[in-house]
Structure 1
Amino acid sequence: MKIIVMSDNHGDKETVKAVSSLPAEAYFHCGDSELSYDDETLVSMFRVGGNCDVDSKYPGEVVTTIKGKKILAVHGHEHNVKSSLMELYYRAKEKDADIVLFGHSHLYGAEMKDGILFINPGSTMLPRGGNPATYAVLEWDETPIVTFKNMDHTVVESIEIKNV
């Protein structure tokens, strides 16, 4: 399985077009696109609304299954992800998710907790913490590998998740 995850582009359509044109089985946008839900740059993506998205068509979460892995996507503002992943962890348990995708903090990262893989792709427009603008690529055949790439599609960091 190969999926591409992005978040927090805050109106920048060109970045969405560039990232969603890369080869993958599925694309996820974790909110704060600041585009209409039906915008042509987003239609190929699973997408959720963030605190900066005003279009009421955006769902608060998306749950889907790809290659046998159940994926929960949210923005994160309704789960207080800037403070802790506990609320999001409990939501993932309720949904029986294998993978959780979220944004909101503008900080990239990935971690495994109790068999659930949490991925924040960072922000493609307004990164925080001195980080570059990033999106994430998850490749999961036998072992999940999460790669964070900058807007030149160069690897910023790659994490092989062990003990799945």
Structure 2
Amino acid sequence: MKVLIISDSHGWQKEVEEVILRHRSEVNTVIHCGDSELQNGSKELTNVLVVKGNCDRRNSGFPEEILHELNGLKLYITHGHLYNVKMSHVPISYRGEEVGANIVCFGHSHLAVSFKENGIIYINPGSLRLPRGRNEQTYVICELETSKVTVRFYERSGKEIEELKKEYEIIEN
């Protein structure tokens, strides 16, 4: 099972649609981790799990967080601004543990990163529009298998960024 994860596209419509259409047939789920700056119901976000970011309108209709189960794994999705992720991952890690997440998807910092801590996998796909820490505008395709999760980062053009690829083992409790 594969998941496409996008974040921080800040008003881009055509570019979001291009990335989603490029991968729609190979992924089971599409996630946007906030700051789309699009309206709930916009055609670009059809059948996409979307959370509200700090730059999304107060009345956007997007939830602050989503807990979604896929392939027996719990995914917790939030933008990250409510957990101060630019300063520390500790608050979001507490929330991930609290909701029993296996994977936490977030954005806000615009930094393309994945890591595992205390048995939880954290994925920030970076920013599709305004990257920080790297030059590439990025997104993620995450493959969920029974015993492992593979995280692959891509440039907006669709080219994989090989050095960011990581595999994480899933340990059942």
Report the TM-score, using the length of structure 1 for normalisation: 0.95
Partner of 1:20: 20
- Aligned with 2:157: secondary structure? coil
Could you list the per-position Cα deviations for residues 103-160 of structure 1 after superposition, in whole angstroms to 9, with x for gaps in the alignment?
A: 0000010011111110000000000123310001111213211000001111113112
Moved over 4 A (4+): none
- The answer for unaligned runs of 5 or more in structure 2 is none
Q: Distance in 1 between matches of 2:85 and 2:58?
A: 22
Q: Number of aligned residue pairs: give it.
A: 164
Q: Which of 29, 36, 39 is the matching residue for 1:36?
A: 39
Q: Distance in 2 between matches of 1:135 and 1:81?
A: 18
Offset at 1:100?
Answer: 0.4
Report the TM-score, using the length of structure 2 for normalisation: 0.91
Offset at 1:49?
Answer: 0.5
Offset at 1:163?
Answer: 7.0
Could you list the per-position Cα deviations for residues 29-70 of structure 1 after superposition, in whole angstroms to 9, with x for gaps in the alignment?
A: 000001111111112110000000005211000111011000
Partner of 1:99: 103
2:34 paired with 1:46 = no
What are the residue-to-residue correspondences of 1:69-108 with 2, within 5 Å?
A: 69-108=73-112
Structure 1, 4-13 or 140-149: larger mean CA deviation? 140-149
Q: Distance in 2 between matches of 1:18 and 1:55?
A: 26
- Aligned with 1:18: secondary structure? helix
Q: Distance in 2 between matches of 1:99 and 1:144?
A: 9
- The answer for unaligned runs of 5 or more in structure 1 is none
Q: Distance in 1 between matches of 2:35 and 2:136?
A: 18
Question: What is the RMSD of the two structures over their aligned residues, measured on CA atoms?
Answer: 1.2
Partner of 1:149: 154
- Aligned with 1:20: secondary structure? helix
